[in-house]
């Protein structure tokens, strides 16, 4: 593990509100104009082309001969690459700082950089670990029953999603068709969803696989986590309501999942580990740990209706509201001998706070459409065609941030 000191500064000018301080140094896949794709990092308002640094002799070619995908490096090698980048970008190091020609080539303005899906996931698993969201959904759809089902506090509930429809931020999302049934109708109909929604989530990629039949102890499971992203698991609520019993979401969730292009390493988030929510009753042995297992990540959702020019913040919450930690999620997945695959993507489930304005979906923010959200001079119950949504998140340090950038998507007509 390599935790960058909180007092470190870069020779690159970094605004205190930038997500990409020198304490972060996340990784993405950059597609430079006229060249092969390369791993890149971010500092302030710039994307750093790591291949150009290697070609200039500033990154070891022997240690990092391949830099065109996440698959080329182990977690330990990512740690060492991040350490090398830190040394080059630290304010007292003149090697890159004073090389104006190389800086001009290797530092690409963030707004001009074309960033790709960091890893095409081999599998996508979506958990249901936001206890406030789960409770709200229970109150809405099962008003005569306890909000949480009996298993919720005993195991991290999840379902297998659709890896082929995971896309990078900025990819438009087309309104899906599906089968729905109105409460007063005798039979279902097929057509475009009328209740298109977002889900505010965090996610992580697996960076170290395990063998089939092998369990992974919760004490070492974090060694299998490559890094973290933001996730928007788009949802068709009316389709979901009709189809999800008894086996759970299917077409309501499989049409699109958007993620951030930047993969933030666990090393960068380590200073922001906090004690998770109290788990009562005590969990079973394969999920028990004495370590603080939540992360203090501030999360926001911004919506720009099709009729308006500007985004407005409609929700703000924190990842510390997850009942089940990422470590517990992955340990539980492997507890039956399921092989963890390199590149598997896991979503946390919708993250909501306890009060209005902190909910991670329109389903909750509008309470099933009964209380529309005011956005500028219009109202929204669910997403309309042409609406654009941004999810963003960051950890706040002393004068710096460690952030994920944004996950953006615009709704296209069915």
| Active-site residue set | 133
Rounded to whole angstroms, how far apart are CA atoms 412 and 384? 9
Rounded to whole angstroms, how far apart are CA atoms 400 and 20? 9
Our measurement of the distance from residue 307's CA atom to the centroid of its chain's CA atoms, rounded to an integer in Å, reads 28
Antiparallel, parallel or unpaired: β 189-192 and 177-180? antiparallel
Contact 242, 179 (CB under 8 A): yes
Contact 314, 333 (CB under 8 A): no
Burial of 286 (0-12, 13-18, 19+ CB in 10 A): middle
Rounded to whole angstroms, how far apart are CA atoms 293 and 295? 7
Rounded to whole angstroms, how far apart are CA atoms 251 and 244? 9
- A 10 A CB-CB count for 223 gives 12
Rounded to whole angstroms, how far apart are CA atoms 170 and 407? 7
Beta bridge pairs of residue 167: 258
Q: Can you read off the two tokens belonging to residue 160? A: 């297998």
Antiparallel, parallel or unpaired: β 189-192 and 294-295? unpaired
């Amino acid at each position: 593990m390599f935790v960058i000191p909180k007092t470190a500064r870069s020779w690159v000018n970094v605004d205190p509100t930038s997500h990409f301080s020198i304490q972060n140094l996340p990784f993405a896949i950059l597609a430079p104009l006229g060249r092969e794709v390369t791993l890149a990092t971010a500092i302030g308002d710039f994307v750093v082309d790591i291949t150009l640094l290697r070609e200039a002799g500033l990154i070891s070619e022997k240690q990092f001969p391949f830099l065109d995908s996440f698959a080329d490096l182990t977690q330990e090698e990512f740690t060492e690459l991040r350490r090398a980048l830190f040394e080059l970008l630290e304010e007292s190091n003149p090697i890159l700082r004073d090389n104006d020609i190389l800086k001009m080539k290797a530092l690409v303005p963030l707004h001009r950089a074309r960033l790709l899906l960091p890893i095409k996931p081999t599998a996508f698993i979506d958990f249901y670990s936001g206890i406030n969201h789960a409770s709200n959904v229970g109150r809405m759809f099962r008003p005569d029953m306890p909000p949480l089902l009996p298993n919720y506090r005993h195991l991290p509930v999840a379902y297998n999603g659709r890896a082929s429809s995971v896309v990078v931020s900025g990819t438009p999302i087309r309104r899906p068709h599906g089968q729905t049934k109105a409460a007063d109708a005798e039979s279902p109909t097929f057509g475009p969803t009328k209740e298109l929604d977002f889900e505010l989530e965090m996610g992580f990629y697996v960076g170290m696989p395990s063998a089939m039949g092998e369990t992974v102890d919760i004490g070492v499971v974090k060694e299998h986590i490559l890094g973290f992203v933001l996730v928007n698991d788009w949802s068709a609520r009316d389709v979901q309501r009709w189809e999800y019993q008894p086996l759970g979401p299917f077409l309501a969730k499989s049409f699109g999942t958007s993620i951030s292009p930047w993969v933030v390493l666990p090393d960068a988030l380590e200073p922001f580990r906090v004690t998770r929510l109290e788990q009562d009753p005590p969990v079973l042995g394969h999920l028990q740990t004495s370590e603080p297992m939540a992360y203090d990540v501030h999360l926001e959702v911004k919506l720009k209706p099709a009729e308006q020019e500007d985004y407005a913040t409609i929700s703000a919450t924190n990842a510390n509201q997850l009942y089940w930690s990422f470590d517990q999620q992955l340990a539980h997945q492997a507890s039956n001998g399921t092989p963890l695959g390199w590149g598997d993507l896991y979503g946390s489930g919708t993250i909501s706070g306890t009060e209005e304005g902190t909910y991670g979906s329109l389903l909750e923010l509008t309470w099933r459409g009964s209380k529309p959200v005011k956005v500028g001079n219009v109202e929204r119950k669910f997403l309309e065609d042409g609406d654009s949504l941004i999810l963003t998140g960051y950890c706040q340090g002393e004068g710096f941030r460690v952030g994920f950038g944004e996950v953006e998507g615009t709704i296209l007509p069915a």
